[in-house]
Amino acid sequence: MSADPVLAVTGLDVHYRRRTGRLHALKQATLTVAAGETVGVIGETGSGKSTLARAVLGLVRPSAGRIVVAGTDVTGFSARRWRALRRQGVLQYVFQDPLRSLDPDLTVEESLIEPLLIQGRSRRESADRVRAYLERVHLDETLLSRLPGELSGGQRQRVAVARALVTDPRLIILDEPVSALDAATRVRALEFLKELRAAGTALVFISHDLGSVAGLADRVAVLYQGEIVETAPATDVIRSPRHAYTRLLVSSAPTLRSAAANRADRAARRQALRDLLPA
């Protein structure tokens, strides 16, 4: 594993132009992700989570700050250079329900080969690599000709894992991979994340729900009104949240704490709410 971070975001500002004026959606955001590390970015709706992800993926242009991906300063990249970087497969993006990210009209083989062809590999090399990956995720080659609709939930999950990993990305960004899902799908999505994590790829996942990231993340970054107000190991954020907003998040996710702490939680929640409200 390299000692260099796979992602270093420093002092990032993003503004959106709106009819009603400019919106300062991300304010001096700083976040570092080490190789193989799993970082959860949490915050309520509109706090700037997707904006941070979009900036890291080159989909919105920051007005200030610096973004370094796997040692390359991408801050001033043109659209063409971003496309070339995405083609290298260093960065992968999984949007919402990871198990539905497979195109229903593509066979398993086509789904897995596509990112490799985009990387510029030959058909032959891509096909060989897909077979090697199938072994890694314990999927049988006979599944290659099937459509996603012809797979079990568990098989779909493993195909989605293989598709995310097949280009050997250094960093995968996942937008709300678990929180929007029903209970059964959520269990599978969590397994999906665990498998990605076990493969040693750095993960950044975005969630509005601290409960769904706490058990998976090495560190948690808390976004509040466009600012990262706290970044700490997940256990520290839960046991001793420093920012009033984080205290509110922790106390609104009672499953994170013991039942005995519930009453104290309610009191902490009331206090955290008071701290956040203008005097």
Ligand X SMILES: Nc1ncnc2c1ncn2[C@@H]1O[C@H](COP(=O)(O)OP(=O)(O)OP(=O)(O)O)[C@@H](O)[C@H]1O
**Where on the chain is the footprint of ligand X (CB under 6 A)?**
16, 18, 23, 25, 43, 45-51, 208
Residue 206 C-beta: closest distance to ligand X, Å: 7
- Neighbouring residues of 196: CB distance < 8 A, sequence distance ≥ 6: 161, 164, 165, 172, 203
CB of 28 to ligand X, least distance (A): 15
> Which residue lies nearer to ligand X by CB, 25 or 57?
25
Q: Are 62 and 82 in contact (CB under 8 A)?
A: no
How much is the CA Rg of the chain, to the nearest whole Å?
20
Q: How far is it, in rounded angstroms, from Cα 102 to Cα 92?
A: 14
Q: Which is nearer to ligand X, 70 or 214 (CB)?
A: 214
CB of 203: closest distance to ligand X in angstroms? 17
C-alpha dihedral sign at 104, 110, 112, 116? negative
Nearer to ligand X, 40 or 115 (CB): 40
Q: Smallest distance, Å, CB 245 to ligand X?
A: 13
In whole angstroms, the minimum distance from the beta carbon of 38 to ligand X comes to 19
In the chain, what is the greatest distance between 2 CA atoms, to the nearest angstrom? Answer: 66
User: What 8-state DSSP symbol labels residue 152?
Assistant: -
Nearer to ligand X, 41 or 91 (CB): 41
Contact 57, 90 (CB under 8 A): no
Q: Decide whether 43 or 62 has the Cβ nearer to ligand X.
A: 43
